[in-house]
Amino acid sequence: MGDANGRIHQLNANTGATDATLHVEGIVNFKLVPVGESLLVFANESGNMTLKSLPLTLDRVRWTQTAPRSGWSSFAWPYVWHDYVVIGRESGSSSA
């Protein structure tokens, strides 16, 4: 789980104890998405949304990608396709 202080916590499912903690930049209060041996993490860094890739061991940040300003949604769900992470954007348009 993530927290507003920029930490990701790995909890033991049997005991509830914290097994690992990693500090990352930004507020981590969005979806955490496990993908194979990685964890994709959304963070808000001073108003800039970022997507980070962490190993499940929580010992480092593998990479960080800043999202485009327009059309970004914290409700986006990343999909992994081959070696790519794909995230949809809101169009902002509507019809009546």
The answer to whether the beta carbons of residues 3 and 28 sit under 8 Å apart is yes
The predicted pLDDT at position 90 comes to 60
Q: How far apart are CA 43 and CA 30, in angstroms?
A: 7
The predicted pLDDT at position 41 comes to 87
The predicted pLDDT at position 72 comes to 58
- Residue 15: which region, alpha, beta or left (left: phi > 0; alpha: psi -120 to 50)? alpha
Name the CATH architecture for the domain at 7-67: Beta Barrel (2.40)
Mean per-residue pLDDT for 3-20?
90
Which of 51, 17, 14, 16 minimizes the C-alpha distance to 35?
A: 51
Domain boundaries, the chain: 7-67
CA angle centred on 33, ends 30 and 34, rounded to 5°: 150
Q: Is the full-model pTM beyond 0.85?
A: no
Q: For residue 68, with 0-12 CB atoms within 10 Å meaning exposed, 13-18 middle and 19 or more buried, which class applies?
A: exposed
Residue type at 89? R
User: pLDDT tier at 18 (50, 70, 90 boundaries)?
Assistant: very high
Q: How far apart are CA 13 and CA 30, in angstroms?
A: 20
User: pLDDT tier at 95 (50, 70, 90 boundaries)?
Assistant: very low
Asked if residue 21 has pLDDT above 80, the reply is yes
Q: State the average pLDDT for the chain.
A: 79
